[in-house]
């Protein structure tokens, strides 16, 4: 297999996990990483990951600094949820013909919130033979790409419903915080309104499904209510008293003439019982799918990102959607 030269952009928890996983792939050669944290800049990736063979790979303050030393073919981008900011960061990469796989949630369907920027970066990609895709587990798989995948055996589709229940007690600290653990229900609602809390990229999941189904939605609605602890809860990171928020119940719908065509329902909370992923396709044939226990978010997100790389390079140049890439597949570690 041809070696793919890879750089990591962003060394938060997901970025470090991404590096560790891609280091195990026989098709990948890691050349370095980029992070803005002064404590990390200049260090070696062996120090950050514990993987000795990365001793010669350094952390640079900007992509330009990294490019002076190394010319990666692909960047793994794990730095933020906003499509516009991500596209700003990716433009210099695309101009050099570097492709990017990203966990940026809004990049799942970038033209939803950043139509002008999406068009611009798509043009840059096409001119310079680069490819960009936003991926992950959710958004990126369980509540959007998987329902689309299932419709591949449908003669007709009337409505799509997907429900995900995540037990946040087993997840990393930033996620437990992001879902509002330990704050009051009023504070929860205020913070969601201010965009400081909640699951990012939910509207993009609805927009991606609608795009694939050929449905022109009239509106996308989104609500988020706190899940309230009915007992005192203690995790590795939080103590939540009964009556305080212990997670979120977020819903996003896509409608045509007032009729709901796509309904996504997400509960992420501490001590959640019966975690699962379900998809119901109202169509011909109808389909009712369930993943028992659900897909574990943190570990699987990094897998989705790394597994996307070889497929991304086989797709046509441009700003791509996950559904435009070949069928998702594990890439062997041997």
Nearest to residue 321, comparing CAs of 135, 45, 168, 195? Answer: 135
- Work out which of 4, 28, 121, 148 binds a copy of itself, going by CB under 8 A: 148
- Work out which of 183, 212, 227, 248 binds a copy of itself, going by CB under 8 A: 212
Counting Cα atoms < 13 Å in the Cβ hemisphere of 217 gives 24
Tokens encoding 305: 């990102």
Q: What binding mask, one character per residue, do residues 16-55 give for a copy of itself by CB under 8 A, x or -?
A: -----x----------------------------------
- Work out which of 304, 309, 317, 319 binds a copy of itself, going by CB under 8 A: 304
Cβ at position 141, least distance to a copy of itself in Å = 5
Tokens encoding 201: 């990229």
- Work out which of 44, 128, 149, 249 binds a copy of itself, going by CB under 8 A: 149
**Number of residues this chain uses to bind a copy of itself (CB under 8 A):** 55
List, in order, residues 6 or more apart from 152 with CB less than 8 Å away: none
Binding residues among 239-278 for a copy of itself as defined by CB under 8 A: none
Binding residues among 151-210 for a copy of itself as defined by CB under 8 A: 151-157
Per-residue CA distances from 131 to 75, 79, 164, 242, 306 (Å): 10, 18, 30, 48, 15
Helix (H) or strand (E) holding 134: strand 131-134
Nearest to residue 141, comparing CAs of 162, 159, 157? Answer: 162
Cβ at position 277, least distance to a copy of itself in Å = 9
Give the footprint of a copy of itself on this chain (CB under 8 A): 21, 137, 141-142, 145-146, 148-149, 151-157, 212-215, 283-285, 287-293, 295-296, 299-304, 306-308, 314, 316, 322-334
């Amino acid at each position: 297999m041809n070696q793919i030269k890879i750089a990591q952009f962003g060394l938060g928890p997901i970025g470090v996990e991404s590096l560790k996983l891609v280091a195990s792939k026989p098709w990948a050669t890691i050349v370095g990483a980029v992070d803005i944290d002064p404590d990390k800049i200049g260090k070696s990736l062996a120090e950050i990951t514990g993987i000795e063979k990365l001793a010669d790979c350094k952390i640079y303050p900007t992509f330009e600094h990294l490019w002076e030393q190394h010319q990666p073919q692909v960047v793994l981008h794990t730095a933020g949820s906003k499509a516009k900011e991500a596209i700003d960061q990716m433009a210099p990469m695309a101009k050099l013909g570097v492709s990017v796989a990203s966990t940026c949630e809004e990049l799942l369907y970038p033209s939803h919130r950043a139509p002008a920027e999406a068009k611009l970066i798509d043009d840059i990609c096409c001119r310079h033979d680069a490819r960009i895709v936003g991926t992950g587990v959710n958004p990126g798989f369980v509540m959007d790409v998987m329902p689309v995948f299932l419709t591949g055996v449908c003669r007709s589709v009337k409505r799509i419903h997907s429900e995900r229940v995540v037990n946040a007690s087993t997840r990393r600290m930033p996620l437990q915080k992001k879902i509002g653990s330990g704050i009051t229900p009023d504070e929860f609602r205020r913070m969601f309104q201010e965009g400081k809390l909640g699951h990012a990229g939910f509207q993009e999941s609805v927009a991606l499904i609608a795009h694939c189904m050929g449905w022109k939605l009239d509106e996308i609605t989104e609500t988020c209510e706190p899940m309230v602890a009915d007992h005192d809860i203690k995790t590795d990171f939080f103590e939540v008293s009964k009556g305080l928020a212990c997670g979120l119940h977020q819903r996003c719908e896509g409608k045509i003439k007032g009729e709901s065509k796509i309904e996504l329902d997400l509960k992420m909370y501490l001590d959640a019982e019966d975690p699962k992923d379900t998809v119901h396709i109202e169509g011909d044939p109808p389909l009712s799918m369930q993943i028992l226990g659900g897909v574990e978010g943190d570990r699987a997100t990094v897998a989705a990102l790394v597994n996307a790389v070889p497929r991304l390079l086989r797709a046509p140049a441009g700003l791509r959607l996950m559904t435009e890439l070949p069928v998702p597949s594990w890439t062997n570690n041997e």
